[in-house]
């Protein structure tokens, strides 16, 4: 299954294929900065080696240095990332809190991956509404969530086309 759509300035796709997105399309992250809001359904606490390489954690969110090699990006599944062209500070994560009760405002970040968000599913419409409101507030270049589905969202049209084409070619 591969579903695509458009929301405001963002194109999105959802697939149930198991895809290592960074191996398939390293340009998603190379030269960019990643805010990891979930890794294996929890918060990433950078290891000593990651901290020495420039990774930082604030407010239950891990922030990367400029990504030069995709092998340097921690990933375990049930991961969620916001990707930017420059360093960003997203505020405080509400990981583990009820997403419908957490603040929906600048400086507050809800984590959607653990709710098995899949933008194409009608049963996650309420989650998707909150998700798109959050995307509009923080305006990342791209968003990646990997749970039972891979959700990829990007305002970068060329990047989206590259990812979409690469995933279609796997089918």
Each residue of 105-127: pLDDT tens digit?
Answer: 999 999 999 998 889 988 889 99
Which one, of 95, 109, 87, lies nearest residue 34 by Cα? Answer: 87
pLDDT of residue 124: 86
Q: Given this model, what pLDDT does residue 117 score?
A: 86
What is the per-residue burial (b if ≥16 Cβ within 10 Å, else e) of 7-19?
eeebbbbbbeeeb
Which pLDDT value is given to residue 77? 86
Q: Give residue 12's pLDDT.
A: 98
Residue stretches of the chain with pLDDT short of 70? none
Residue whose token pair is 């407010």 = 59
Q: Where are the domains of the chain?
A: 2-170
CA distances from 82 to 135, 169, 171 (A): 9, 25, 26
Which pLDDT belongs to residue 31?
98
pLDDT of residue 116: 87
Residue 114 token pair: 């653990």
Which of these, 132, 114, 30, 116, lies nearest to 72 by C-alpha position? 30
Give me the pLDDT at residue 30, please: 98
Distances (CA, A) of 69 to 33, 44, 53, 73, 74: 12, 19, 12, 8, 11
Give the Cα separation of 161 and 66 in Å (integer). 23
pLDDT value for 113:
93
């Amino acid at each position: 299954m591969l579903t695509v759509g458009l929301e405001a300035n963002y194109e999105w796709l959802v697939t149930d294929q198991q895809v290592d997105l960074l191996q398939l399309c390293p340009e998603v992250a190379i030269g960019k900065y990643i805010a990891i809001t979930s890794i294996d359904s929890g918060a990433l606490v950078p290891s000593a080696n990651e901290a020495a390489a420039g990774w930082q954690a604030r407010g239950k969110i891990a922030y990367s240095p400029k990504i030069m090699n995709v092998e340097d990006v921690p990933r375990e599944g049930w991961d969620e990332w916001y990707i930017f062209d420059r360093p960003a500070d997203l505020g405080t994560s509400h990981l583990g809190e009820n997403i419908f009760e957490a603040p929906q405002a600048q400086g507050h970040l809800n984590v959607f991956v653990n709710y098995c968000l899949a933008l194409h599913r009608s049963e996650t419409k309420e989650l998707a509404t909150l998700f798109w409101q959050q995307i509009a507030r923080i305006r990342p270049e791209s968003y990646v969530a990997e749970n039972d589905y891979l959700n990829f969202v990007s305002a970068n049209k060329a990047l989206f086309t590259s990812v979409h084409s690469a995933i279609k070619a796997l089918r």
